[in-house]
Amino acid sequence: MSQAMKTYQPTCSIEALKARAEMYHKIRQFFDERNVLEVETPVLSQAAVTDVHLASVQVQRHIHGKLNTQYLQTSPEFPMKRLLASGSGAIYQICKVFRDDEHGRKHNSEFTMLEWYRVGADYIALMDDTMAVLRLAVQAAGTATLAYRGMICDPALPPERLTVAEAV
């Protein structure tokens, strides 16, 4: 048994928890200022995901005395699009999602996802939203840049914008 499993101590520091809470607060404030409604959709579904590149986590439950298989969401996309089709207007959600067969040093089977839809917004507006949210996340983390696999992203700089043809 590993040392981490022998202790009751969490693996996340209090500083990291506070930074995450501040980031969530800033994200909620960002969407609230734009009249985007926060929603909460079901985590369990009767059907698995249809994306062939994702594996759903199965859950066995007893419902009215019968064993049923349900699935934990891999993304809130489908129930959020049902809300959009029902006339919800612009919506967002910060929620837990689950993916089977995905686990690694920097990738967990359970993680938090931010998903949003702005009715009538074009891709340029959504790109602007994305950069603004990245800036908020960096600010909450107390750093100026993001780094991944040797690449550095400075959200304070204007992003490079490519067409699909240019990106291929």
* pLDDT in the model for residue 72: 93
Strands (E), the chain: 37-38, 44-45, 57-63, 66-72, 91-98, 110-117, 146-148, 151-153
pTM attached to this predicted model: 0.84
**Per residue in 36-51, pLDDT tens?**
999 999 999 988 887 8
Residue 4 predicted with pLDDT over 60: no
pLDDT at 112 over 60: yes
44 close to 68: Cβ distance less than 8 angstroms: no
Band of the pLDDT at 103, cuts 50, 70, 90?
confident
